[in-house]
Amino acid sequence: MVVFLFLLSGFTPVKTITLPLTIDYPLLRSLVIYNAFTEPDQTVAVLNENDGCIYVVLSEPNFFEESSQIRFETKVQVSVGTPVKEKCFMPIKWEGYAVFFQKPKIDSQTMILSFDTMDSILYNKHRKPAKIAGVVWELVQTWAYDYLDSISVNLAPPLSELKSFLLPLFPEDTRGQAEKMLSSLRPERVLVTPDAVQINIDVNVEEIYETPEDLEPLPISGEELEAITEAWEFWDAFLVSIITSLIKEPLLENDRQILFSTLLETRYRFITELSERTLERDLVREQFIMAWKNLSTIFRTHLGNEVSKYTLGYLAFFTASDALTAFDELGPTLGIEISRNGLIRLAGLLSKDKPVLFDYDTNVDTDLRKILDLGAPLVTSTPAYGPDELDLDKTEYNKNDGNHLWYGLKQFLAAPAWAKTPNSEIEFRDIVKWLVLKDDLDTYMKRVKQLLKSSTSNLLKRNKLPEKYHQIFLEIIFSTAWQESCFQQFKVKEGKITYLRSYNKTSIGLMQVNERVWRGIYNLKHLKWNIRYNAMAGGEIIDLYFQRYALKKLKIKGPIDSDTLAGVTYAMYNGGPRHFYQFLKRKEQGKYYLSDRLFLKKYRWVQNDQWAYIDDCLVGW
């Protein structure tokens, strides 16, 4: 546990805290290979005389912990012959493995990490203790020892990055004290743990600031709310950026699930607190810490294996992120705020010299869908681009035309966003036919139910859901559309057509897909103006919660009843993955949310074909 008191006024004796710099063994292996095994196939000839008549070649290095020492294992190839002119007579060849037990050390002035070889053992190629000629052993011991003792890792760059990243995070009025503190950063102790070599970085602290426990937080102004929202959007873009940096890594299914859940949790928390106006100034910092705790193992496992010039940058990224996590133990007394420039600097450590650009845009990110195991983007044949509303004159609207002939083509084509679309007439006709008419509710319901059945059928053909769940899955689809929008994509008000929005302006259309939660995963313009696309997206989201969370986790708990399966799926659809356990707790205590009760009521109506209740919400115009 890190203990840290940071004082802004007054005087106290100097205190020392410790930050960890952790080099996992795969990362240590990558650093050593990049610096010391630089010949083809990650080898190094520590001795090569007389055109290969006498040589010692090391390859395939690996690192582990054994008895609080580093166990450095490497493949060894040895040849000892007698060179005569240009020939090599009677060479003795041996191939096996050498294990060197090493003690790491660090120079606090140069920040150089090196290794003292304390002992060694030779094994044959079957990894059994080897009996070899004395001359072979002498060559290995002499040349391999000398070379391994010369291997070092320069930790000055990641420590410099750590200082450059941390300093701007402190409030400006404490920047002087923070700079003094960071200038005292120094590596002191090196520990060999079962998973990593850990260098403890000590830092001097001289001052303290304590927040009074009874101090009430000031309410957030509209201007501050806007600033927090902007900062969060940049953080969200950063999180997507680092997640997609893993696009070429061989991620496991569980890795992808952790990435998926982490992204959703940060987004759901933001939209919940935004709508409830409970956003906190520390939101980005808190979400960064939470996300890094979830994702650090994935990043260390996959990026740590990469042998390249960027590996030290990865170490700097890990160290800076770990430092923020350590600082988080100290609460709000530091006043640290993760800045836009800080995130850009961090992302640059993973970018492999590519420009770091964070755009909070609404385009579908194919890399994001792929890395989250969502497959190719949804495809729709009908474009759906346009303004936020369209003109419609009710008096000229032909209700008796089965195709719902539309009016106002001239006005429609005059809108710049639509005029460039070759199928504008078809698009507008497709929108108008999904308007709900008071005297034709049955026709509309038949049409929308058929649309949902069709999109669900197409989804079931590719999602590998066992057939025994097909009926309940369709019932959940119907019940969700009923709960979320009363089966409506569009509405008409004062002669204007617009897409349906939630009360808090965050979710859209038939399935009320949340724009911020699913940014980069679905096309927001299609969600607004294309009912088919909205139905497909909502169905895919329900499938994610149904299969990845509800079925998988409920099976562990025992037999699954349909009400629980339906209820917990919708609870997650409405509030995110954390509502899996929260719904089960509410169910156990008999304290359902209003949204739970309303959904389960509609679910029962769908099960019993009680469609007459649709008149309670589907009123038309």
The pTM (predicted TM-score) of the whole model is 0.86
Residue 3 lies inside a defined structural domain of this protein: no
SS3 576: coil
Residue 179 lies inside a defined structural domain of this protein: no
Structure-token pair, residue 341:
């420039």
Q: What is the pLDDT of residue 407?
A: 38
Q: How many domains does the chain have?
A: 3
Task: Answer whether residue 572 shows pLDDT above 60.
Answer: yes
Owning domain of residue 231: 221-371
Structure-token pair, residue 79:
């040849």
Place 337 in a pLDDT band, splitting at 50, 70 and 90. confident
Residue 30, amino acid = S
Q: Same structural domain for residues 367 and 449? A: no
Residue 228 lies inside a defined structural domain of this protein: yes
Place 420 in a pLDDT band, splitting at 50, 70 and 90. very low
Average pLDDT along the chain: 85
Place 400 in a pLDDT band, splitting at 50, 70 and 90. very low
Residue 59 lies inside a defined structural domain of this protein: yes
Per-residue pLDDT of 78-90, as tens digits, reads 888 888 877 888 8
Q: What is the mean pLDDT of residues 8-12?
A: 44
Which among 120, 138, 156 is the end of a domain?
156
Residue 6 lies inside a defined structural domain of this protein: no
Lowest-pLDDT range of 327-336, 385-394, 496-505, 516-525:
327-336
Q: Same structural domain for residues 435 and 476? A: yes
Q: Same structural domain for residues 340 and 445? A: no
Place 5 in a pLDDT band, splitting at 50, 70 and 90. very low
Task: Answer whether residue 430 shows pLDDT above 70.
Answer: yes
| Burial class of residue 591 in the structure, from the number of CB atoms within 10 Å of its CB (0-12 exposed, 13-18 middle, 19+ buried) | exposed
Residue 123 lies inside a defined structural domain of this protein: yes
Which among 112, 129, 156 is the end of a domain?
156
Q: What is the pLDDT of residue 339?
A: 80
Q: Same structural domain for residues 410 and 502? A: yes
Q: Same structural domain for residues 363 and 398? A: no
Residue 475 lies inside a defined structural domain of this protein: yes
Q: What is the pLDDT of residue 316?
A: 92
Q: What is the mean pLDDT of residues 24-46?
A: 94
Lowest-pLDDT range of 29-38, 130-139, 590-599:
130-139
Q: Same structural domain for residues 355 and 416? A: no
Residue 337 lies inside a defined structural domain of this protein: yes
Place 330 in a pLDDT band, splitting at 50, 70 and 90. low
Q: Same structural domain for residues 341 and 399? A: no
Q: Quick one: which of 57, 97, 48, 50 has its CA closest to 78?
A: 57
Q: Same structural domain for residues 400 and 367? A: no
Q: Same structural domain for residues 270 and 319? A: yes
Q: Same structural domain for residues 413 and 332? A: no
Per-residue pLDDT of 26-35, as tens digits, reads 999 999 999 9
CA quadruple 452, 455, 457, 459: dihedral positive or negative? negative
Question: What is the rounded distance in angstroms from the CA atom of residue 412 to the CA atom of residue 271?
Answer: 34
CA quadruple 33, 246, 248, 241: dihedral positive or negative? negative
Phi, psi of 246 (to 5 degrees): -90, 10
Which among 130, 156, 182 is the end of a domain?
156
370-373's contacts with Cβ under 8 Å and 24+ in sequence apart are 370/247, 371/243, 371/244, 371/246, 371/247, 371/251, 371/256, 371/259, 372/256, 372/259, 372/260, 372/263, 372/521, 373/253, 373/256, 373/260
Q: Same structural domain for residues 240 and 140? A: no
Q: What is the mean pLDDT of residues 582-603?
A: 96
Q: Same structural domain for residues 594 and 499? A: yes
